[in-house]
Chain A
Amino acid sequence: MNFFSTAPAARRSPEGQPPASAIWQALALWLAPLAFLIIFFFVPLGSILSVSARGLITDGLSPAAAERLGRALGFTFYQAALSTLLTVLVGLPGAYVFARFDFPAKRLLRLLSTLPFILPTVVVAAAFNALIGPRGWFNLLAMEWLNLPAPPFNLLNSLAAILLAHVFYNTTIILRVVGSAWEQLDPRLEAAARVLGASPWRAFREVTLPLLRPSLLAAALLVFLFDFTSFGVILLLGGARYATLEVEIYIQALHLLNLPLAGLLSLVQLLCTLLLTVVYTRVASRLNIPLTPRLHGEGAAAPVSLRQKLLVGGVVLVLFTLLVLPLTALAARSVARLEPARGQRGGFESGLTLDYYRELFVNRRGSLFYVPPIEAARNSLLYAGLTVGISLALGLPAAAALSRRSPLNRLLDPLLMLPLGASAVTLGLGFILTFNRPPLEARSFPLLIPIAHSLVAFPFVVRTLTPVLNSIPLNLRQAAAVLGASPLRVWLEVDLPILARAALVAAIFSFTISLGEFGATSFLARPEYPTLPVAIFRFISQPGGLNYGQALAMSTLLLLVCGLGIALLERVRLPEERSL
């Protein structure tokens, strides 16, 4: 393991140029992650883009196509910026409350708030419909209580629905990434500012916020990129009037079979991602402030004053309403027939039932593609476990390399984020085109699915680990080295304990990304190894009450499997739980 050979003296040497050995070490760290990206990302992407480029050169770009491109680009930026802003506004107070206060059911709420991340959009659409749809619970209750003739809320098929869904999906990124950084901030710094007479707001603005900025920026970038390449939410909840670049790519590639235009759109999307990341890297490099991290949970206390209690209560209520209620509506709908009566305006039918779950275990039509739920859960977990393994194994050395001063970093750092900006449709087609022959044949090499998932998870892992690695003060490592610790021991005793919590966050994200991913899977899936999202899709694409109910039941199973998985991951005993 080459990152063990870190020579502390070689890091961030004050006099400009790093020694030649440091460059070799950096190269060694980069080897595996770069090889992975080249083989599984740049080559397939290049092959599909070159096919579309040939078409574009012969056919040219029509004015109508140029107009589509411009319109989609504008809307993509607009909705992503708005969504990111809202997500940060909701997530930041949440991160604060999680980092600084202890309250009942804190762990449970944190766990539940991660679950939206994994749900396939089709299911989220069903959950939102059960809650805020024209015959959803909010509208039914409002019509009943206020005696209204028509549903008062009309959120579906609007920009509001897109924004709401993006907040629902991505708030957990802010909560987890910023929250874990906040937990490790020394509370005495803010206390000192208060003692010196700063107002709470000023102490936050001038002490806490500058220290949090690297994680906040990293988290906001991730949220922005997720919103920027958003596909299912726009397609299913936004309705037909809205199209992002990714939606246009899907339409052009798979419905109009216009690969050249799809390729051009993918390229534009990639360039935007690259540009954003370059700007981010420049800004972030100026923000890092090395600081001795505190123990997890040290700065958290139960709320005391009325103001604190109101704050904690308010934040918990908002998070619960936005993130947990739709999940509850979904789970409730899978066991209960609580719904408006057929064809009627008011009144509902009710009753409890386990029929949908029972039916999941029956292959009623003797279908060749029947998916036993246990098997689907097993396959999903297997892929998710492999994804965690692959993305951490590649992300740790990449993050270690990024935290060193090396001329390579400025060049390579933005490239690492590109998989987040790649269109799933384009990349999927690239996989088919490239991995078309043994031994790496897309259809008979089962590892390709977790590899595709790892491509999305890898930038996440890097972005989660790098700010934390950067914050480790050099003198900690030097002190350990002076006291006689070998480089390996320095890494194990200094870096790893500080890194462990961030690595856990990274593992949880890789796990959830893999469990919920459907885009690449639908291209590479093999019927012998169906996953839970594949099974959900099979049900919801056919008419009939049982199919609908079974899709919801299968989604609830997905939620349970994911919840259990995260709970288990969180129980892994972290080395930092010992006293420093």
Chain B
Amino acid sequence: MKATGRFVLLVIMVALVLVACTPQTPAAPIELRVLTHDSFAASEEVIRAFEQENNVKLTFLPSGDTGSALNQAILTKNAPLADVFYGVDNTFLSRALKEEIFEPYNSPLLAQIEDAFKLDPQNRALPVDYGDVCINYDKAYFAEKNLPLPQSLADLTKPEYKGLLVVENPATSSPGLAFLMATIAAFGEDGYLDFWRQLKANGVVVVNDWETAYYTNFSASSGRGPQPMVVSYGSSPPAEVIFAEQPLEEAPTASLVGENMCFRQIEFVGILKGTQQRALAEKFVDFMLDVRFQEDLPLQMFVFPVNRNAQLPEEFVRYAQIPAKPATLDPALIAEKREAWIEAWTQVVLR
């Protein structure tokens, strides 16, 4: 009986202590909420400075990947979760605009941004950063085998590259979808499936996610996989240097940046319709487009700033390649055809 009593008491006490220890939200005077994806990152110093200058408390709501975050913004558009949404990219842009989740904002900072990035003429979604999805290759492998680098996407179907490329499934992975778009831009809607048929015959490996492709299949990553080419980002080579186990003089990887070989992803920010903090939200959008935040972007999120006055960090200047002619597609066309393209691709490559 005594032991039983003690057991019950222990359970109750543990429960009480746990309830008492539950974290409490500190009360903030003015709160601005930012809905974003899980990959969002920023320097604490930069964010705190904005908070102090504007007497605001920023609350970030990372909400899964881009699709998941956008879904949440759309589902709650009648009672918005946040004041600002950052992270919708050009592949999802049309959907976000069609659902009318954003309020237009003509930020004065837009003057410092190239027109090529401004995909919404009404400025409901404002460009923040861009990155190119490119094929990364294992420099040591190509040097050791004396293998010339592929100069175009079409080269990938040549026998000397048989079984050397791993790509992500466009149905489950954002870089995978971007690479599919690059092939559509390069070969046209009539030709891309033929290219994929040849690529399949040439032993292309398909996995579902970037993590597996990069860390399990790619030969130049820490996973030491079998394929020396992987669909990743143009900013992955500098990341390999910055996050190297031992200091590296040279990046172990590089990107193939020929014409139409990379697909350009642009990320946007917008003020969510129905916000009670319109003035603060505008200040935050300006802050994201201004030089200080723009210069913080590369080393935090491994993307490139759109503000032409922002300087790139040294690692990016040395190791990142920016394709001169990246592939692009009209966001409206992407919104219309995305599902059909993915379905057709699945039939050809996976079935």
Contacts and interface: CB of A to CB of B under 8 A. Distances in A.
A240 B206 contact: yes
A239 B23 CA distance: 39
Contacts of B240: 543-545
Contact of B47 (A156, A241, A251, A368): A368
Given A235-B209, A443-B61, A574-B7, A546 B47 contact: no
B318 to A, nearest CB: 16
Contacts of A135: 223-226
Give the interface size bracket for B toward A: 35 or more
B25 A339 contact: no
A133 B226 CA distance: 9
Contact of A339 (B76, B222, B233): B222
B53 interface: no
A393 B216 CA distance: 42
A133 B223 contact: yes
Interface in B236-275: 236, 239-240, 242-245, 252
A55 B335 CA distance: 17
A541 B14 contact: no
Contacts of A393: 15
Contact of B207 (A240, A368, A538, A546): A240
A572 B245 contact: no
Contacts of B41: 367-369
Given A369-B41, A382-B21, A548 B223 contact: yes
Given A133-B216, A366-B45, A432-B75, A527 B62 contact: yes
B220 interface: yes
Interface stretch (A5-13, A197-205, A493-501): A493-501
A462 to B, nearest CB: 18
Nearest to A370: B44
A492 interface: yes
Interface in A426-457: 428-429, 432-433, 436-437, 443-444, 446-447
A343 B7 contact: no
Contact of B216 (A125, A241, A537): A125
A452 to B, nearest CB: 14
Nearest to B253: A543
Given A432-B72, A546-B245, A575-B7, A443 B81 contact: yes
A565 interface: no
B243 A542 contact: yes
Interface string B139-152: 01100100000000
Interface residues of A, number: 91
A432 B81 contact: yes
A369 B236 CA distance: 20
A283 to B, nearest CB: 33
B236 A543 contact: yes
A239 B243 contact: no
B7 A367 contact: no
Contacts of A240: 169, 171-172, 206-208, 350
Contacts of B44: 363, 366-368, 370
Contacts of A254: 64-65, 67-68, 71
A146 interface: no
Given A122-B211, A578-B3, A382 B22 contact: yes
Interface string B94-124: 0100000000000000000000000000000
B214 interface: yes
A478 B216 CA distance: 61
A368 B6 CA distance: 44
Contacts of B350: 240-241
B11 A392 contact: yes
A455 B22 CA distance: 19
B70 interface: yes
B171 A256 contact: yes
A382 B18 CA distance: 7
Interface stretch (B186-194, B283-291, B338-346): B338-346
Contacts of B220: 342-343
A77 interface: no
Given A240-B207, A544-B239, A365 B299 contact: yes
Interface in A488-522: 492-493, 496-497, 500, 522
B300 A541 contact: no
Contacts of B81: 432, 436, 443
Contacts of B222: 339, 544-545, 548-549
Contacts of B1: 492-493
A459 to B, nearest CB: 21
28 contacts: A122-B211, A125-B211, A133-B223, A235-B208, A236-B212, A240-B208, A251-B171, A254-B68, A255-B342, A257-B70, A257-B74, A339-B222, A339-B224, A340-B224, A342-B252, A353-B245, A363-B44, A385-B18, A386-B18, A446-B23, A493-B1, A497-B4, A528-B23, A541-B210, A541-B211, A543-B236, A545-B221, A547-B239
Given A134-B217, A343-B219, 17 more contacts: A125-B212, A126-B215, A247-B172, A254-B67, A254-B68, A257-B67, A337-B245, A368-B47, A369-B60, A370-B44, A382-B18, A432-B72, A436-B81, A496-B4, A544-B243, A546-B243, A547-B239
Interface of A: 48, 51, 64, 122, 125-126, 129, 133-135, 151, 156-157, 235-236, 239-241, 247, 250-251, 253-259, 337, 339-340, 342-344, 353, 355, 363, 365-370, 379, 382, 385-386, 389, 392-393, 425, 428-429, 432-433, 436-437, 443-444, 446-447, 492-493, 496-497, 500, 522-523, 525-529, 537-538, 540-549, 572-575, 577-578
- In order of increasing CB-CB distance, the 8 nearest A-B pairs are A544-B243, A343-B140, A548-B222, A254-B67, A240-B169, A545-B245, A389-B15, A546-B243
